[in-house]
Chains A and B, each alone.
Chain A
Amino acid sequence: MTEKQTTTSAAFFATLKRDLLIAFKKKNDIVNPFMFFIIVVSLFPIGISPESDRLTEIAAGVIWISVLLASMLSMDNLYRSDFEDGSLEQLLLSPHPLFFLVLAKNISHWLVSGLPVVLVSPLLAYMLALPEEAYGTLVLSLLLGTPIMSLVGSIAVALTVGLGSRGLILAVITLPMSVPVLIFGTLAVQSTLNSQSPLGYLSLMLVMLSVSVSLAPLASAAALRISVN
């Protein structure tokens, strides 16, 4: 009966493909966080000062905080609808390791909500008068940081997906866990601005990313099992 069983990689890619397909069909999953990010960043020059000296000072922090907030907005899409329509149970009952299936969902989530934000960040950096030499560091730090936020946020969403009214609890769990990413991300950009090498901070973020990739899906998988129980 099991001779036609799929390989884990086939199940992984099927899950990745399905989640991307759902995201492209529900366009607001992609557009909402992206628009939110652009709008929040644009508010700062209006609210604080359009002077480029002051903007340069806060640019990295503003972009990073807006990225955090935008990622909160899209987090709930990760497991919510799957929980409601029963797809999550099917995922849990797969013979394949849940680690890889959860990882596929996280990767899809990052491709849809994290990557667009990374790609548009140089434009917003220009708007905030961030000097050109820091663009590379900013994009690189976001490239390393946004997947960490998807992976870590996934744990919180998995824990709370069974709750009826979640309100702010998702933000309360996720945002404190994102603080290290925020610190190293902004420090990397700042050190480029001070003509120092950002490599130390970036490699720390790379370490954090590797740890998240290898451990966070395990935690998400365990949390999902608890949530459907």
Chain B
Amino acid sequence: MSSAAPTTSSNFDTDKIMLTARELFCARDDRVLFKNLNFDLPEGQVLQVQGSNGSGKTTLMRILCGLNDSYEGSIKWYGQEIEDQAASFFSSLLYIGHRVGVSKVLTPVENLRWSCSLKQAVSDEQIMAALKEVGLRGFEESPCYTLSAGQQQRVSLARLIISPASLWVLDEPFTTLDTKGVALLENILQRQAHEGGSVMVTTHHSLSIPELTVLSLG
């Protein structure tokens, strides 16, 4: 039951707009999650998606990544249909969902070696440096089932540091992080925006990032 406030994009060049969503409509079990949802995501911006529980934040994120196709409306990547340039879109996209994609049996290093190499070549030095930055030094070779939920979340955040992807779609990345972790992630998001990348993030935290725009659902 919602129509979202569209964010303005008038100050941006059209070719700098990564993602354009127009007239998005999604219903689940006869309940309208959102309708007539329009937004633009320009380069260098962090878009925070807000909304109450069950307002369709996760659904929206999965729709944008192409994991969910039960929607109407158009989503364009640099002004073109995503299907027409799937390879370019998927190599520029990094998605971290509720389930963070960290296998509990493997160690952080083994996890990152695989999940990063699905997209780009990665060296062990890069992985070690990233793990150190997210505060997992000393845990590189521990199986992930011995790590806490927050530490596993940090393993997935290390992917943000390694990845050259220009579009990050992050679903509730702050939930299990401690205050230091929250500051670290805000820092990483800001760096991404400074480097001209964009972030879509769902969270109930109030983020202190200058490049922030808020999209409200519900």
CA distance A94 to B68 in the complex (A): 15
Say whether B5 faces chain A, with CB atoms less than 8 Å apart.
no
Determine, out of A58-66, A82-90, A147-155, A183-191, the stretch whose residues face the partner at the interface. Answer: A82-90
Taking a contact as CB atoms under 8 Å apart, the answer to whether B92 and A87 are in contact is no
CA distance A70 to B69 in the complex (A): 36
CA distance A228 to B106 in the complex (A): 23
| Residues of chain B contacted by A84 (CB below 8 angstroms) | 99
Given A5-B119, A5-B120, A10-B121, A93 and B65 contact (CB-CB distance below 8 Å): yes
Taking a contact as CB atoms under 8 Å apart, the answer to whether A25 and B106 are in contact is yes
Interface centre among A10, A93, A229 (most CB of B within 10 A): A93
Interface size on B, residues (CB 8 A): 37
Q: Which of A11, A14, A18, A93 contacts B106 (CB 8 A)?
A: A18
Say whether A95 faces chain B, with CB atoms less than 8 Å apart.
yes
Taking a contact as CB atoms under 8 Å apart, the answer to whether A89 and B105 are in contact is no
Determine, out of B7-15, B48-56, B107-115, B177-185, the stretch whose residues face the partner at the interface. Answer: B107-115
CA distance A167 to B100 in the complex (A): 27
Taking a contact as CB atoms under 8 Å apart, the answer to whether B91 and A5 are in contact is yes
| Residues of chain B contacted by A1 (CB below 8 angstroms) | 91-92, 164-166
Say whether A2 faces chain B, with CB atoms less than 8 Å apart.
yes
B38 smallest CB distance to A (angstroms): 24
Interface size on A, residues (CB 8 A): 32
Given A2-B88, A18-B110, A90 and B143 contact (CB-CB distance below 8 Å): no
Interface residues of B in 48-81 (CB under 8 A from A): 65-70
Given A4-B164, A85-B103, A18 and B98 contact (CB-CB distance below 8 Å): no
Given A5-B91, A85-B102, A93-B93, A229 and B114 contact (CB-CB distance below 8 Å): no
Interface of A is mostly: helix
Say whether B97 faces chain A, with CB atoms less than 8 Å apart.
yes
Binary interface encoding of chain B residues 79-96 relative to chain A, with 1 for a CB under 8 A from any of its CBs, else 0: 000000011101111010
CA distance A212 to B185 in the complex (A): 45
Binary interface encoding of chain A residues 1-38 relative to chain B, with 1 for a CB under 8 A from any of its CBs, else 0: 11011100011001101100110011000000000000
Interface centre among B86, B102, B117, B165 (most CB of A within 10 A): B117
CA distance A101 to B113 in the complex (A): 15
| Residues of chain B contacted by A96 (CB below 8 angstroms) | 118
Chain A residues within 8 Å of B, Cβ to Cβ: 1-2, 4-6, 10-11, 14-15, 17-18, 21-22, 25-26, 81-82, 84-87, 89-96, 101, 228-229
Told that A93-B67, A95-B119 touch, could you supply 17 new A-B pairs with CB distance under 8 A? A1-B91, A2-B92, A5-B91, A6-B118, A21-B106, A81-B103, A81-B105, A85-B103, A85-B104, A86-B99, A86-B100, A86-B102, A87-B103, A87-B115, A89-B95, A94-B90, A229-B69
8 residue pairs bridging A and B, Cβ less than 8 Å apart:
A1-B165, A1-B166, A15-B114, A22-B103, A25-B105, A81-B105, A93-B67, A95-B86
